A = this chain, B = another copy of it.
Amino acid sequence: MPRTEQQFEEIRTEKRKIIMDVALELFATNGFHATSISQIAKQAGISKGLAYNYFESKNELLNAVINQGFIEIASFTEVKPDQPLCDEELIAFIEQSFDKVSNDIRHWKLFYSLMLQPHIAENFTERYAKAAEPFFKMIFHFITSKGSTDPEGDLLIISMMVEGAFLYAVAAPGIFPIEQLKQKVIDGIFRIVKTSKK
């Protein structure tokens, strides 16, 4: 009995996932240029040829991996970004964000690498900025609602803190425990907010 259309579709989807997962692992660990299709195929348990059946080129594969990463980041926005947040909501939001990062370190590692070498992936910078926007919008809402006298400036300070914390989480996960980073960022945000009010 031949497989049904749907079964084929499932196999494809499943295998794509495996390839992308291996690719993510290797791209994040060793870098895009230092990772070969052969390596990916071998580690994914498939033939080189099959990899090309699923992805037109190594660059396409990278793009797919990146897009997958953006989709996961996008779930940041589950909290509606247009309503004022109370403190607890802000805390929960930050905690979730850190957990997202720490559960998906590989994508973030890849992203930070790509930020530094943007020509590897077309339009990466713009796409990343767009993906990060909701996150910063929420912070902006929060500090505005808290009465910040210079919300753009405060947002920048907080962004730097968050970006630095994420970088620590991603580049040196053994050294700075995620919980500590999380608490310090939350702590930092509140202290920035507190010192903003006239």
Contact = CB atoms under 8 A, between A and B. Distances in A.
Q: For the complex formed by this chain, how many copies does it contain in all?
A: 4
Chain A interface mostly: helix
Contacts of A86: none
A164 interface: yes
Interface string A139-182: 00000000000000100110111111101101110001000110
A198 interface: no
A31 B33 contact: yes
A113 B116 CA distance: 7
Interface string A86-109: 000000000000000000000001
Nearest to A163: B164
A7 interface: no
Nearest to A190: B195
Interface string A31-53: 10110000000000001000000
A156 B172 contact: no
A184 B119 CA distance: 29
A34 B161 CA distance: 31
B30 A119 contact: yes
7 contacts: A112-B116, A113-B113, A115-B172, A125-B172, A157-B161, A157-B191, A160-B184
Closest 7 CB pairs of A and B: A160-B164, A164-B164, A33-B33, A163-B164, A191-B195, A157-B188, A115-B171
